[in-house]
Structure 1
Amino acid sequence: MMKPRLSGRYQEHIQNHGLGSCPCHGPMALRVFRVMEEGLSRRGLLKASLGAAALVMGGAPGRAAAQDRPRLRLSGARIFDGRAAGLIEGRDILIEGGRIAGLIAQDEIVSDAQRIDCSGKVIMPGMIDAHWHCFLAALPNAVAMTADAGYLHLLAAQEAGATLARGFTTVRDVGGPSFALKRAVDEGMLPGPRIYPSGAMISQTSGHGDFRLRFDGPQTAMSPLSPAEDVGISIISDGVPDILRRTREQLLQGASQIKIMVGGGVSSRFDPLDSIQFTPDEIAAAVQAAADWGTYVCAHVYTAPGILRALSAGVRSIEHGQLADAEAARRMADAGAWWSLQPFLADEDANPQAGALAQAQQREIAEGTVRAFELAQRFAVKTAVGTDILFSPAKVATQGRQIAKIARFMSPVDVLRLVTSANGELVAMSGARNPYPAPLGVIEAGALADMIALEGNPIDDIALIGQPDRMALIVKDGVVCKNTIDA
């Protein structure tokens, strides 16, 4: 098969700017958008990739209905329930129909329950990544530059299984065409985490989700969608009426929350880091449209002025925000908004940056990360954590390890609370649009039965959450996804 080719102007852009720019605005991103635009329409692509995924899985039947699944009894383990500072001892976990039926005494007799002996293990809720991109996380540079559209979706499906194998049973996808993948996972066609999809990131012209090059403008009512818009990564929108339409489009497709871009990126060439994007009325329009459907808006933004504008317009989750000041942190706390932070520390896991300006901005963000965690705790801001890994098959393997790094700012048990019950509260904020309307991130009666059993105590050794080989058991929705205990 002939490899799809980039147009001359995209080739020229790559030659001029190299491969070191911000991943979400770099040449591999442009390549993904272009090949998918040229390959298939968005809806046709999703249908085709879903069908191809089913063939890869051998036409696997859907997951058994909840009432038909066997009862499970996880016995002998100590339990971190997602909230308490210590471990629960002397109790077993009973699972029925995809939910936790309760914590029962170890000597209580239960008939017709499949027993898994977890003695010597610590069971904790499955982890939740509050800032993830299912489609873009594990896409390697070489594949982004050469593969066809269907293969890119199959790669995302493969990565979904790997995400689950790392102990992440839920992710909040904050930008990308993940609707079909979510459906396939929910129907049991593919292994993967629960997905809370945002759909396309909504961006103003010249905003952080405007992936066009300078010579692609100006946009008019008669202009075709750009590659990133055509595949469902982002959508460009200006003015209140258009913001309402674009927000409603994502809700129509099944978005559980809406993602908008209210500020620039670390090394984006066309939207400065300190820029504020969307007017107050435009942001408020997205918030209103989401609220009318019973859900909320989260906003990409780094700076204090951008955070304040987003909060004033009703945004309920700030994504990143590493350049917040004390006033912005206090306002988040007063508004009851969430601060979704990532361990951006300019270390071995950081995205490489080209050029002095980008490297300086990366250091600024790293310094801001340290300050942000301190401010979040000082002002008691509701805090969530995610990784925001992009375009790196090597880095996706560090997903849990990156969360574990947060222990430099707080106790290990507080890190565990963030990646379980706190993130569970955040995703539940989608309210009427919650695709999984039961408690997540906790081990208690009535909660969804997502949990992992570790060989060791993560309260003593937080690094365990980044070591999948120490995860002896992974259960999602009451189904055993991994079990090395019985083996």
Structure 2
Amino acid sequence: MAGPLITRIGPNIEPPEFATVIEADGRVLMPGLIDAHWHGVFATATIAQLMATNEGYWNLKTAAAQRDTLYRGFTTVRDAAGPMFDIARATDEGLIEGPRVFPSGPALSQTAGHMDFRTTKDVPATPDKLNPFETSDMFYIADGVPEVLRRTRENLMQGATQIKLMAGGGVTSTYDPIHVKQYTLAELEAAVEQAENWGTYVLTHAINDEAVNHSLDAGVKSIEHGHMATRETLQRIKDEGAWLSMQPFLDDEDAPTLNDFQKAKYKFVTDGTDFVYRTAKELGVKIAFGTDTLFSADLASRQGAQLAKLQTWFTPYEALKMATCDNAELLALSGKLTPYPLGPLGVVEEGAYADLILVDGNPLENLDLVSDPENNFDVIMKHGVIYKNTLD
């Protein structure tokens, strides 16, 4: 490695003078992991903490969460909603430790949509009457084509590498049932057109089947979740070259704490996980891996365990490929807006970014190794910088 890139790979390379040499001693070298659906601000802060504090606390809390993410071996994340522009900038400038960030910025939601966390006392509202969460870039409420255009452009102005909209009902949201379709086709198309004008793409929160098809109608390239998609819809995702960015949500120890309304919605999600994974794999859909951890430091700490959970449907090779070079292919849809243009991510090859992990064991034979990065990841490198080295 020289600087941020891998420069040479081979069995008999003479290291240059003053180079740092690490004796791997039979360990397995792999690319750094990529989480394609991460929320840095929302990952570990509880809703109560977010409601009772301001941006200063959020940034400190997020910086700690990002550091922990890096030390779990995730060297890149696509942040799928939240005020992450400054965190991304601070990370790239070396002010804080953390993974590379592809920020979406504040997600766009219609009134009463999945990201509308206002209270009923906040309405009626006008487009110029902003909620404190909007002014702090937690989310943007955008109703109608003009508002969608404005908020999309504002996100691009601030450094979004892709644009996120809420196109259907969600689990944690307050007002929307899981089955609803959100945004008109014209509104979604407006965001897609603006993103494409900048050479990038739109991802949408779309759990139910109608929301997935609605998103595809508008030209959306990345479907987030899709747990209620039918076989016909999954075939359509494949045929149109879009991505299914899905999470292994199950009714298990990793299920989030929810109220009764949310639990009823979550059951639709968990009931569809097995079918969608198996069918998408059978059809050859492009599948991305992400965790979508929210409001729980406990769940965030199980980021690697979520990846290991994919063994139910995929081989270790398929799961690792999904969380490295496949996710990198998805992130590359941001085109010239990528903050990291010097080389590819998610691979070990000459000219690629030096984002690497030395594993004590072979994850191709035992994917559970990624569940315990503290004990199994002996070296973690990002951008050619060694962040963890237990072999020194």
**TM-score normalised over the length of structure 1:** 0.78
SS in 1 for 2:8: strand
Selected match of 1:114 from 20, 23, 28: 20
Selected match of 2:226 from 314, 321, 325: 321
Alpha-carbon separation, structure 1, partners of 2:302 and 2:238: 30
Alpha-carbon separation, structure 1, partners of 2:138 and 2:65: 17
Give CA deviations for 1:394-419 in whole Å, capped at 9, x if unaligned: 11110111111011111111110011
SS in 2 for 1:352: coil
Is 2:313 the counterpart of 1:402?
no
1:150 positional shift: 1.4
The aligned amino acid for 2:66 is A
The aligned amino acid for 1:207 is G
SS in 1 for 2:347: coil
User: CA 1:395–1:485 in structure 2 vs 1: closer, same or farther (change >3 Å)?
Assistant: same
Selected match of 1:463 from 368, 374, 389: 368
1:376 positional shift: 1.1
| 1:65-464 aligned within 5 A | 95-105=1-11, 107-112=12-17, 113-140=19-46, 143-144=49-50, 146-221=52-127, 223-355=128-260, 357-437=261-341, 438-464=343-369
User: CA 1:145–1:313 in structure 2 vs 1: closer, same or farther (change >3 Å)?
Assistant: closer
The aligned amino acid for 1:205 is T
Alpha-carbon separation, structure 1, partners of 2:54 and 2:241: 44
SS in 2 for 1:116: coil
Give CA deviations for 1:420-470 in whole Å, capped at 9, x if unaligned: 111111111100111112211100111100011111010111011121221
Give CA deviations for 1:309-340 in whole Å, capped at 9, x if unaligned: 10111000000010000111011001100100
The aligned amino acid for 1:471 is F
Worse-superposed segment, 474-483 or 229-238:
229-238
Q: Identity of paired residues, percent? A: 46
Unaligned runs of 5+ in 2: none
- When the two structures are aligned, how many residues end up with a matched partner? 389
Is 2:387 the counterpart of 1:481?
yes
Judge conservation of contact 1:302–1:323 (CA < 8 Å) in 2: yes
1:295 positional shift: 0.3
Q: Which runs of 4+ in 1 moved over 3 A?
A: 140-149
The aligned amino acid for 2:114 is H
Give CA deviations for 1:263-283 in whole Å, capped at 9, x if unaligned: 011253311111101111110
Judge conservation of contact 2:116–2:173 (CA < 8 Å) in 1: no
Alpha-carbon separation, structure 1, partners of 2:264 and 2:357: 39
Alpha-carbon separation, structure 2, partners of 1:230 and 1:436: 28
1:218 positional shift: 1.6
User: CA 1:316–1:212 in structure 2 vs 1: closer, same or farther (change >3 Å)?
Assistant: same
Judge conservation of contact 1:264–1:272 (CA < 8 Å) in 2: yes
The aligned amino acid for 2:63 is A
Judge conservation of contact 1:172–1:197 (CA < 8 Å) in 2: yes
Worse-superposed segment, 408-417 or 210-219:
210-219
Give CA deviations for 1:224-270 in whole Å, capped at 9, x if unaligned: 21122121111011111221111000000000000000001125331
Alpha-carbon separation, structure 2, partners of 1:260 and 1:474: 33
Judge conservation of contact 2:170–2:265 (CA < 8 Å) in 1: no
User: CA 1:443–1:459 in structure 2 vs 1: closer, same or farther (change >3 Å)?
Assistant: same
User: Which residue in 2 is equivalent to 1:68?
Assistant: none
Judge conservation of contact 2:45–2:295 (CA < 8 Å) in 1: yes
The aligned amino acid for 2:145 is V
Q: Which has the larger radius of gyration?
A: 1
Judge conservation of contact 1:167–1:452 (CA < 8 Å) in 2: yes
Judge conservation of contact 1:100–1:448 (CA < 8 Å) in 2: yes
User: CA 1:425–1:213 in structure 2 vs 1: closer, same or farther (change >3 Å)?
Assistant: same
What is the aligned-residue RMSD (CA, Å)? Answer: 1.4
User: CA 1:245–1:418 in structure 2 vs 1: closer, same or farther (change >3 Å)?
Assistant: same
User: CA 1:286–1:265 in structure 2 vs 1: closer, same or farther (change >3 Å)?
Assistant: same
Judge conservation of contact 2:5–2:384 (CA < 8 Å) in 1: yes
**TM-score normalised over the length of structure 2:** 0.96
Judge conservation of contact 1:138–1:159 (CA < 8 Å) in 2: yes
1:102 positional shift: 2.6
1:141 positional shift: 5.7
Alpha-carbon separation, structure 2, partners of 1:181 and 1:225: 23
Judge conservation of contact 1:267–1:273 (CA < 8 Å) in 2: no
Give CA deviations for 1:104-148 in whole Å, capped at 9, x if unaligned: 12x332332321111121111000000000111011466446545
Alpha-carbon separation, structure 1, partners of 2:265 and 2:73: 32
Give CA deviations for 1:130-181 in whole Å, capped at 9, x if unaligned: 0000111011466446545412211111111111011000000010001111
Alpha-carbon separation, structure 2, partners of 1:160 and 1:408: 28
